[in-house]
Structure formats: C-alpha cells, structure tokens
C-alpha cells in the first residue's frame, strides 16, 4: 500500500468518525444485550423515526451500571437489563419513570409483567420484554429421556463426564436450589450450604463449564449429552441439523430468565427513548425480538403471536408456555452481599 | 553545538514518547495501584489505604488457586513452546538451502495472521470429540474411544503453544542465522560432535535470544483472557478470567486492580529470574 | 540417514501442527449446513455471502484498519524520535529513560487496558475508537522504539555528520539522511505495529463504545452461537492478511535484500 492510499483511508475513517459524532441530534444510544443488535429488529425503528440507534453490548450488570454511573448526561438513552437486576438500577437512580398507561402490559403473559421487580413506590421504571428458561438441554438419542424429567437423575453417575454446565452462576445455582426443594426466591445465606453441596456434585459429574458456543460445540459434536442451565436459546439453532438435541423442564421445575428495558434518567431524548421502548414491546417489535439472530426467546407481549408463523411458534413452544410458566420460578435475585457470597461459592466450586 | 544545547535538543526529540508513556501508561498504572487499595461499600468507591483486596487473596481459595493455575499454564506453555520451536528454527536455519529459508520461515509463521479470537475457536473445532485430531487417532487405530481434548487445560495449552511456537520460531531463527558458521566449524575442528557443538557453543550463544522470546511468551500468555476462556472449559480459572468476572457482574474495580497488580508482580518475578539473559532493548 | 530423515519428519509434523486449525477453519467455512462440525457436507459459499452482507462486520473491519494505521503511524513516529533523541544526543539517565520506554512491553495488555479504562472513566473522557487507538500506541511504542533504537548504529552517525558538515540543519539531517537509512527498521516497526493492533482484543474490548474493532465484533459473534459464519469471517481475515503479508514480502522486503 502506498503512503498516499494509506493516508486517504485514514482520512476517510477519521472523517466518518467525526461525521457520526456531529450528527448527534438524530441518534439514540442504547446499552443492550446482543439480541437487540439484529438489524431486522432495529432498522424498522430507525426508518420510522429517521434516527440512528447506536448499540453497545455488555456482559454483566455490574459493568453496565459502572459504565452508566461514569458517563455524562446524554451519553445513554436506553438500557436493557436482566429482570432481576432492575432494582439495582433503580437503587443507583439511573432509570426514569415510565408512563404506565402507554405500555401494553395488559397484553403480556401475566407471570412476566413482574410489577414488583420493575417498579418502586408506584412508579414503573422498566418493562419486561423477553423471557425463557434455564433448564436441561440434552441429546435424546444418547440419554434416557425419562432421566431428564427429574433433576435427581440428571447429574447421576450414569452421566458422569457427559454433562456440561452453563457458565452463569445465578441460573445454575437456581437449578441447584430447586433440586434441593428450595424456592429460588427463598435463597438466603443459610441455603447456600445445601446449594453448594448440590453444585459440587453437579460439578463433579461435569466435563466442562461452558459458555454458549463451547456448550453448543460440545453438544453438537457429542462431547457431552446434557447441558445443565441450557434451554431453547441454546439448542434451537442446533436442532435444525440435529433434531435429537432438545430440552425439557423437569418435574422439580426450572428457572426463568427475563430481560427488561427502560429509559435512562440522564437521557436528553426521553421522548425518543420512550418511543423505542414502546416499539420494542409492541407486537411487531416483540415478534422481531423473539426471533432475533443472536438468540431466540419468548416475547413478553402475547400479542406478538399474530406476527409469528407456525414454525416460529412451534420452535418457541408457544402452546406449552402456560405449563412452563407455572412450573418455573424466576432465577435468584440476590442483594449485593448475598450476590458476592453466591459468586464466591460458584468460583470456588469451579476451581475445586 | 554546546553540550547543553545538545541535551535540550535531545529532550525535544525524546519528549513526545516519554510524555505519551507517562500519561497513558505510568499514570494509569499508578491509579490502578491506588485503586487496588480502595474498597467498595455497596456500589460506592472509598479511596484510601485498605488492604482488604489483598487479604481476600488469602481468604478466598479460588483467587489463590487462579494464581497457581495461571503460573502452571504459563510455565508449561513457555517451556513447551521453546522446546518445539527451537528444532524448527534450527531446521529452517541449517537444513534448508539459504534461498528457500525466507519462504520456509514465512510459511512457518503465516497462520499468525489468522484472527486471534478465531484461532482459539478453530482449535475448539479441531479438538472436539469428533474433530480432526480424534478422527485421525481413531483412524490409525491409536485409540479406540475418542479422547476428551476440548474444554480442558490441554486445549488451553495447545492453543497457546500453537501461537507461541510461531513467534518463537521467528525470534530463535533470527538468533541462529546471526551466528557465524565459523563457531560451529571451529568446534567441529576441535573434535566436538554435533551434540557437543550444540550444547557448548550454539546454545550458550543463542540463550539471550531464547530467553527474550521466552519472557515475551510469559508476559503475553499470563495476561491472556481469550484462549483459556474459549478453550479451557472453565474447569479452572486463570487470573485474567477472574479479573474479567470481577469487572462483569460486580464492577469490582478495586479487586480487579489488586489482581492486576498481582499479575504484574508475577511478571516482575519472571523478569528478575530471567534478567541476566534478557536483551529487551535489543530485540 | 537420520541427518536428513529426522529433520524432515520433525519439520513436517511441525507444519501439520501449525496449519491444522487453519485447515479446519477454512474447510468448514465452506460447510453446506448450519454447524461447522464434522461431517463436512460439501462446498457452499453461503456463509461468505452471509458475512459479506453484514454491515456491522464491514464497519468493524474498516474501524480496525483505521485504528491500526493511525496507531501504528503514531507509535512509529514517537518511537523514532525517541530513539533518535536517546541515540544521538547526550541525555542524563539514558538507561532509565530506555527502561521507561520499554516498560509497557513487560506488562500484560489486560493491565494496560484496565489502567486506561479506570483513568478515562475518572476524568470523564468517553470511550471510542480513539481511546482504543491510544491503548494500541502504548503497547506498540516500546516495540517501535526498541527496533529502531537497535538499528541506529555507528555507520549512520558518519553520514549524518557529513550532512551536517555540508550545512544541513538537524531537521534536514533527520528527514533526508537518518530516516531513509533506517527505512528497513522503521518499516518493520510500522508493519509489526499494524499487525498487533489489527488483531488486538482486550484493550479494544475495554476501551471502545459503539464502534468496535473486528476482533471485538468477532467476539460478539462468538458469544451469540456456533455458526460457520465465524469460519467464513476468520478465513476472509486470513486471506486478506496473508495477501498483504506476501505482497509486502515481494514488493518491499525482497527488493531491498
């Protein structure tokens, strides 16, 4: 490359960067999970409102809260956050109240409206947008399906070394609690004893503790037959080619994950941000979010059903949701101290 | 030009780099060290001289374990990489005709230019239960059952060694070709066999180069997050993985900083052990 | 017999090891299915089409290129001036200054990134490609300095002195004599910096916001699930990088030697 072309390239990149900063009046900045980065979801909103939506993915609530607390007013407009962590964002004072009457929560699956989580002192600060389950994914050709119906037989000796554990402590410890007959909402410091024992037993049988891709690779290549903490979001993409890979909710139940969306108190475009939130929870937005390229999940708004075809609904197991919602509990929502203890217990178990 | 004017000009030339290093390296490092002595009350950061984070290293078994795991992996990788790369560099330097050497060397390090994140992922596919390695071993009848290779420490080490063998082949080759052939000839004339020549002549002369390469391997390996995260299966955690966990869920910058300082301490230790052979400003 | 056979066997084994992951990566980028795992279901270009149509990836690729070129230019410029200042002028405490400039080389990238992140957050500078670029200069500056400093031998001093005796001012000496004579070292430092910045993950991950570099974008893809798209983008990056390397080898370095 000659220095001249290099210089031109440099110049154009720099100009593009500066250019995008200059056009700030038409932008919305959102801190999100990866399912929100699908252009099929975002572009219709951008076109309808003639704006650019800037998206940044993040990995942990702590990192997101730190980012938001360090930022200047106007830096961020919209936040997508783990449903169980909404209270942390409210505590930190970073969310703005939402107008309840403009949100279609009446059309939602009632179990996921989660008013207690999303509001405080009568004000709503966030709204649930998507949910699913952390449960048991397995290869139906390699395991006895009856064994998968009870947590007591999932990590039994029969499947020693055939198990992978999903790499996130909250849902997995929630499943461990359910196996011990402890409600996830009742987890306290005392409950960590039996949960730790179960976790240890589970870990002893496991070949790996894997993130999404490693767990999928392990399942698809037959390295393991079971993923504890898996679910539709893990196996659906694999099932297209390997229909034997499936998931179930055992009789003890499983844990339910939810994600919420809200507007930031420091936003300088609260109206546009609210429009975005309304778009995401509208039936059309919900259908697109449910089938986003990063991961699929059930839309909170049952009205999205009209915009999903039969295949998509079958894949989401739309008709089973009533049973599933009844059989599952929200995953643990510890306060700061308990959270530290849970994470320490988890890391200690990994390192054992 | 007077000596004084000369010195002033010298500062003029050196100043931009020195200021850059001070502003974007030294200052952040000092702030991070100060951060490691701060503490979190809920989500509020309290500066001061609190040893809490360092005490946690003693009280939380997984933190101490992470240091051991990191050291074990890094030392294994460093030693294995040097031992694999040295013969390869030797073959290229002394067994391949000079006009083909550059090509051979280029070929040996070409996969260096695959994206680093993708390279770890590629190893995950290669080492999988029905991946290439298992299929080949089954095919030649060496094993009856597929081995569990992915998501283990073996996988992490393999991914690292692959990368560092390329890097070290390059640096060791550069050292070998700088040796005058006369040394080897003289040793042969004095009756040394090939091994004696290597042991008493070539190895001592190339040791500084090897050590410099080994030290860089140590630094890059012990601070790496991607390779153990993708390949290691989280059956054990390294220090960088623990740091990222602290940043992600809890945003515990003080504890993360303390771990980073510990990491820095390990590198310094390695530096002190190897310093008599290192030639860092003569790469 | 063993004199030729052993090196041949070892060399071949080493090359198999080195090319194994690349071969698997490229092979399954042509997978005609949705999973990049055996069995291979026959060649298809669908994942390449998919990747090339992805605007986020294209944008990330351009971002990476911009950050790499700009940060490498700054690192080489600073590295050169510092090397010149230290090698050609009498400065007090040269050994200490050299140690300071080399120091970032002995520190893990994670530490460089974490330190910068903390400071930038404290003083309220927003994260962007620029901040990632600053981090890349920090890690590449010591390499550039070391490479150029090492090549500032005595033979150049005489040429510089001759130029000065003929009335050239110092700026002219540097630009017209020193830089051309050190061109191989400067170019080597420049291309090494580009390579390292182009492929750097953790600093770019910690220090960018909306616009990200290619390794960060690939990391996001990796977290979203197993797909031959990853193989396709990996193969493309390899193809582009290797083409650049071979062109450089043929055009720049071959001509000089």
Contact C66 A213 (CB under 8 A): no
Q: Which of C69, C210, C227 sits opposite A10 (nearest CB)?
A: C69
Q: Which of B61, B234, B242 sits opposite A167 (nearest CB)?
A: B234
- Neighbour tally for C79: CB within 10 Å: 30
At CA C52, angle to CA B228 and CA C200, rounded to 5?
30
Residue of B nearest to C10 (CA): B88
Q: Which of A39, A56, A70 sits opposite C210 (nearest CB)?
A: A56
Contact B114 C20 (CB under 8 A): no
Structure tokens at B29: 């490092």
Structure tokens at B251: 């945003």
Residue C251 Cα, gap to closest chain A Cα (Å) = 10
Residues of A in contact with B239 (CB under 8 A): none
Residues of C in contact with B32 (CB under 8 A): 111, 114-115, 118
Please state, in angstroms and as integers, the Cα–Cα distance from residue C165 to each residue in A251, C168, C173, following that order.
92, 7, 10
Instruction: Inform me whether the C-beta atom of residue B132 falls under 8 Å from chain A C-beta atoms.
Output: no
Spans in chain A with pLDDT lower than 70: 1-25
Structure tokens at B14: 């050196």
Residues 41-80 of A with CB under 8 A from C: 54-57, 66, 70-72, 75
- For residue C244, the model assigns a pLDDT of 84
Residue C170: is its pLDDT beyond 80? yes
Residue B143 Cα, gap to closest chain C Cα (Å) = 19
Structure tokens at B54: 């360092």
* Cα–Cα distance measured from residue C54 to residue C49, given in angstroms and rounded to the nearest whole number: 9
Asked, colleague to colleague, whether A25-130+257-322 and A132-256+329-350 share their fold, the answer is yes
Residue A323 Cα, gap to closest chain C Cα (Å) = 28
| DSSP string for residues in A26-64 | GEEEEEE-GGGG-HHHHHHHHHHHT-EEEEEE-S-HHHH
* Cα–Cα distance measured from residue A199 to residue A346, given in angstroms and rounded to the nearest whole number: 8
Give the position of tokens 């031998």: C153
Contact C115 B225 (CB under 8 A): no
If you average pLDDT over residues C231-256, what whole number do you get?
81
Residues of B in contact with A350 (CB under 8 A): 62, 234-237
CATH of A132-256+329-350, one of 3.30.70.370, 3.40.190.10, 3.40.50.300, 3.65.10.10: 3.40.190.10
* Cα–Cα distance measured from residue C91 to residue B120, given in angstroms and rounded to the nearest whole number: 45
Instruction: Inform me whether the C-beta atom of residue B124 falls under 8 Å from chain A C-beta atoms.
Output: yes
Say what angle helices B203-222 and B153-178 make with each other, to 10 degrees.
Answer: 140
Higher pLDDT, A249 or B94: A249
Contact A343 B69 (CB under 8 A): no
| Chain A / chain B CB contacts < 8 angstroms | 103
Residues C2/B79, Cβ–Cβ less than 8 Å: no
If you average pLDDT over residues B180-188, what whole number do you get?
76
Q: Which CATH architecture has domain B59-282?
A: Orthogonal Bundle (1.10)
DSSP A320: G
Query: Which three-class secondary structure string do you get for C140-161?
Result: HHHHHHHHHHHCCCHHHHHHHH
Residue A84 Cα, gap to closest chain C Cα (Å) = 22
If you average pLDDT over residues C82-111, what whole number do you get?
88
pLDDT digits (tens, 9 = 90+) for A90-141: 988 899 999 999 999 999 999 999 988 899 998 999 999 999 999 999 999 9
Label residue B1 by pLDDT band (50, 70, 90): low
Closest among B226, B77, B128, B235 to C21, alpha carbons compared: B128
Neighbour subunits, B (≥3 Cβ pairs < 8 A) = A, C
Instruction: Kindly list the residues of chain A whose beta carbon comes within 8 Å of any beta carbon in chain B.
Output: 59-63, 65-66, 69, 91-92, 161, 164, 167, 206-211, 213-214, 217-218, 221-223, 336, 339-340, 343-344, 347-348, 350-351
Q: Which of B43, B248, B252 sits opposite A92 (nearest CB)?
A: B43
Q: Which of A9, A56, A212 sits opposite C65 (nearest CB)?
A: A9
Q: Show me where the domains of chain A are located.
A: 25-130+257-322, 132-256+329-350
10 Å CB burial of residue A337 (0-12, 13-18, 19+) is exposed
Residue of A nearest to B146 (CA): A223
Contact C106 B6 (CB under 8 A): no
Please state, in angstroms and as integers, the Cα–Cα distance from residue A160 to each residue in A167, A169, A197, A221, C204, following that order.
18, 21, 17, 17, 40
pLDDT digits (tens, 9 = 90+) for C204-215: 999 998 889 999
Provide the whole-model pTM.
Answer: 0.85
- Neighbour tally for A210: CB within 10 Å: 30
Instruction: Inform me whether the C-beta atom of residue B60 falls under 8 Å from chain A C-beta atoms.
Output: yes
Query: Which residues touch A12 (CB under 8 Å, ≥6 apart)?
Result: none
Structure tokens at B98: 């000079």
If you average pLDDT over residues B49-55, what whole number do you get?
89
Closest among C228, C221, C226, C224 to C32, alpha carbons compared: C228
Instruction: Inform me whether the C-beta atom of residue A17 falls under 8 Å from chain C C-beta atoms.
Output: yes
- For residue A73, the model assigns a pLDDT of 83
Residue of A nearest to B148 (CA): A223
Instruction: Inform me whether the C-beta atom of residue B67 falls under 8 Å from chain A C-beta atoms.
Output: no
Q: Show me where the domains of chain C are located.
A: 56-256
- For residue A327, the model assigns a pLDDT of 92
Contact B250 A62 (CB under 8 A): yes
Instruction: Inform me whether the C-beta atom of residue B108 falls under 8 Å from chain A C-beta atoms.
Output: no
- Neighbour tally for A21: CB within 10 Å: 11
Residues of C in contact with A66 (CB under 8 A): 121
- For residue A242, the model assigns a pLDDT of 87
| DSSP string for residues in C39-80 | SP--B--HHHHHHHT-HHHHHHHHHHHHHHHHHHHHHHHHHH
Residue B258 Cα, gap to closest chain A Cα (Å) = 17
pLDDT digits (tens, 9 = 90+) for C41-84: 878 898 999 888 888 888 999 999 999 999 999 999 999 999 99
Contact B162 C18 (CB under 8 A): yes
- For residue B192, the model assigns a pLDDT of 76
At CA B68, angle to CA B62 and CA B72, rounded to 5?
140
Neighbour subunits, A (≥3 Cβ pairs < 8 A) = B, C
Residues of A in contact with B131 (CB under 8 A): 221
- Neighbour tally for B207: CB within 10 Å: 14
Contact B43 A214 (CB under 8 A): no
Please state, in angstroms and as integers, the Cα–Cα distance from residue B65 to each residue in A343, B60, B229, B238, B254, following that order.
15, 9, 16, 8, 19
pLDDT digits (tens, 9 = 90+) for A259-277: 999 999 999 999 999 999 9
Contact C222 B230 (CB under 8 A): yes
| DSSP string for residues in C194-240 | HHHHHT--HHHHHH--SS--HHHHHHHHHHT---HHHHHHHHHHHHH
Residues of C in contact with A41 (CB under 8 A): none
Contact C226 A237 (CB under 8 A): yes
Contact C225 A294 (CB under 8 A): yes
Contact A348 B62 (CB under 8 A): yes
Would you call A286 helix, strand, or coil by DSSP? helix
Share of chain C above pLDDT 90, in %: 34
Residue C256: is its pLDDT beyond 60? no
CATH of domain A25-130+257-322: 3.40.190.10
Residues 183-202 of C with CB under 8 A from B: 195, 199, 201-202
Label residue C3 by pLDDT band (50, 70, 90): low
At CA B120, angle to CA B115 and CA B123, rounded to 5?
120
Q: Which of C209, C211, C223 sits opposite A34 (nearest CB)?
A: C223
Label residue C253 by pLDDT band (50, 70, 90): low
Structure tokens at C126: 């927003």
Higher pLDDT, B163 or B191: B163
Residues A67/A31, Cβ–Cβ less than 8 Å: yes
Contact B234 A59 (CB under 8 A): no
Residue of B nearest to A88 (CA): B43
**Selected residue of A4, A7, A8, A10 to mutate for chain C interface (largest C Cβ count, 10 A):** A10
Mode of pairing for the β-strands spanning A78-82 and A254-263: antiparallel
Residue B116: is its pLDDT beyond 80? yes
| DSSP string for residues in chain B | --HHHHHHHHHHHHHHHHHHHIIIIIHHHHHHHHHTT-EEETTEEE-S---HHHHHHHH-HHHHHHHHHHHHHHHHHHHHHHHHHHHHHHHHHHTS-HHHHHHHHHHHHGGGGS-HHHHHHHHHHHHSTTSHHHHHHHHTTS-SS----TTSHHHHHHHHHHHHHHHHHHHHHHHHHHS-HHHHHHHHHTT--HHHHIIIIIHHHHHHHHHHHHHHHHHHHHT--HHHHHHSTTSS--HHHHHHHIIIII--HHHHHHHHHHHHHHHHHHHHHHTTT--GGG-
Task: Give the highest mean pLDDT range of A104-108, B183-187, B271-275, C192-196.
Answer: A104-108
- For residue B280, the model assigns a pLDDT of 60
At CA A324, angle to CA A320 and CA A327, rounded to 5?
150
10 Å CB burial of residue A4 (0-12, 13-18, 19+) is exposed
- For residue C257, the model assigns a pLDDT of 47
CATH of domain C56-256: 1.10.3720.10
Instruction: Inform me whether the C-beta atom of residue C68 falls under 8 Å from chain B C-beta atoms.
Output: no
């Amino acid at each position: 490359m000659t220095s001249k072309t290099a210089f031109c390239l440099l110049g154009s990149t720099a100009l593009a960067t500066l250019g995008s900063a200059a056009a700030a009046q038409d932008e919305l900045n959102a801190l999100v999970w990866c399912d929100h980065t699908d252009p099929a979801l975002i572009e219709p909103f951008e076109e309808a409102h003639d704006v650019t939506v800037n998206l940044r993915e993040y990995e942990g609530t702590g990192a997101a809260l730190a980012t938001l607390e360090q930022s200047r007013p106007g830096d961020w407009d919209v936040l997508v956050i783990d449903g169980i962590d909404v209270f942390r964002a409210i505590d930190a004072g970073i969310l703005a109240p939402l107008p309840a009457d403009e949100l279609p929560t009446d059309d939602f699956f009632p179990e996921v409206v989660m008013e207690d989580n999303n509001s405080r002192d009568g004000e709503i600060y966030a709204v649930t947008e998507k949910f699913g389950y952390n449960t048991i994914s397995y290869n139906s050709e390699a395991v006895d399906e009856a064994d998968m119906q009870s947590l007591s037989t999932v990590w039994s000796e029969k499947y020693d070394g055939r198990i992978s554990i999903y790499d996130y402590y909250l849902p997995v410890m929630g499943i461990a609690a359910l196996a011990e007959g402890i409600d996830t909402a009742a987890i306290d410091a005392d409950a960590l004893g039996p949960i730790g024992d179960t976790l240890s037993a589970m870990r002893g049988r496991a070949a790996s503790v894997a993130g999404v891709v490693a767990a999928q690779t392990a399942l698809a290549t037959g390295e393991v037959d079971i993923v504890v903490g898996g679910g539709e979001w893990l196996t659906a993409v694999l099932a297209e080619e390997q229909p034997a890979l499936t998931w179930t909710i055992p009789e003890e139940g499983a844990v339910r994950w939810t994600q919420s969306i809200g507007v930031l108190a420091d936003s300088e475009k609260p109206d546009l941000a609210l429009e975005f939130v309304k778009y995401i929870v509208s039936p059309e937005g919900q259908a697109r979010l449910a089938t986003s390229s990063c991961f699929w999940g059930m839309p909170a708004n049952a009205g999205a059903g009209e915009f999903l075809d039969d295949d998509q609904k079958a894949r989401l197991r739309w008709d089973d949701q009533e049973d599933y919602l009844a059989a599952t509990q929200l995953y643990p929502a510890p306060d700061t101290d308990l959270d530290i203890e849970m994470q320490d217990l988890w890391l200690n178990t990994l390192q054992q | 030009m007077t000596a004084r004017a000369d010195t002033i000009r010298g500062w003029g030339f050196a100043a931009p780099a020195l200021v850059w290093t001070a502003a974007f390296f030294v200052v952040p490092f000092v702030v991070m060290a100060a951060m490691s002595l701060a503490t979190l009350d809920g989500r509020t950061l309290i500066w001061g001289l609190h040893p809490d984070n360092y005490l946690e290293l003693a009280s939380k078994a997984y933190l101490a374990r992470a240091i051991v795991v990191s050291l074990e992996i890094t030392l294994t990788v460093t030693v294995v990489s040097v031992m694999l790369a040295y013969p390869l560099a030797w073959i290229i330097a002394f067994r391949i005709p000079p006009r083909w050497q550059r090509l051979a060397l280029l070929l040996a390090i070409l996969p260096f230019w695959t994206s680093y994140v993708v390279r770890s992922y590629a190893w995950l596919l290669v080492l999988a239960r029905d991946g290439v390695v298992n299929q080949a071993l089954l095919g030649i009848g060496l094993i009856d059952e597929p081995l569990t290779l992915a998501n283990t420490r073996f996988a992490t080490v393999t991914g690292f060694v692959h990368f560092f063998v390329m890097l070290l082949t390059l640096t060791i080759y550069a050292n070998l070709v700088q040796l005058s052939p006369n040394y080897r000839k003289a040793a042969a004339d004095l009756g040394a066999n090939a091994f004696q020549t290597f042991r008493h002549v070539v190895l001592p002369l190339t040791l500084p180069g090897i050590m410099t390469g080994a030290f860089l391997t140590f630094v890059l390996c012990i601070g790496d997050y991607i390779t153990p995260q993708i390949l290691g299966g989280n059956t054990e955690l390294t220090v960088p993985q623990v740091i990222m966990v602290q940043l992600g869920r809890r945003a515990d910058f003080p504890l993360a900083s303390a771990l980073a300082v510990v990491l820095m301490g390990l590198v310094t230790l390695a530096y002190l052990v190897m310093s008599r052979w290192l030639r860092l400003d003569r790469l | 017999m063993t004199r030729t056979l052993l090196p041949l066997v070892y060399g071949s084994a080493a090359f198999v090891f080195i090319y194994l992951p690349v071969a698997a990566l490229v092979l399954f980028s042509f997978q005609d299915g949705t999973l990049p795992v055996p069995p291979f279901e026959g060649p298809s270009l669908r994942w390449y089409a998919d990747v090339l149509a992805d605007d986020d990836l294209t944008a990330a690729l351009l971002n990476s290129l911009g950050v790499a070129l700009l940060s490498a230019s700054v690192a080489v410029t600073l590295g050169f001036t510092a090397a010149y200042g230290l090698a050609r002028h009498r400065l007090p405490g040269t050994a200490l200054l050299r140690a300071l400039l080399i120091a970032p080389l002995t520190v893990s990238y994670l530490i460089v990134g974490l330190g910068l992140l903390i400071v930038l957050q404290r003083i309220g500078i927003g994260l962007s490609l620029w901040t990632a670029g600053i981090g890349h200069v920090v890690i590449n500056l010591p390499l550039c300095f070391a490479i150029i400093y090492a090549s500032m031998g005595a033979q150049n001093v005489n040429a510089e002195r001759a130029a000065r005796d003929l009335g050239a001012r110092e700026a002219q000496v540097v630009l017209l004599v020193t830089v051309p004579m050190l061109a191989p070292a400067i170019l080597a430092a420049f291309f090494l910096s580009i390579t390292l910045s182009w492929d750097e993950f953790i600093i770019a991950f910690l220090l960018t916001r909306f616009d990200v570099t290619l390794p960060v974008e690939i990391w996001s893809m990796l977290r979203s699930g197993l797909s031959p798209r990853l193989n396709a983008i990996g193969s493309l990056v390899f193809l582009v990088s290797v083409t650049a390397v071979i062109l450089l080898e043929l055009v720049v370095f071959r001509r000089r030697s």
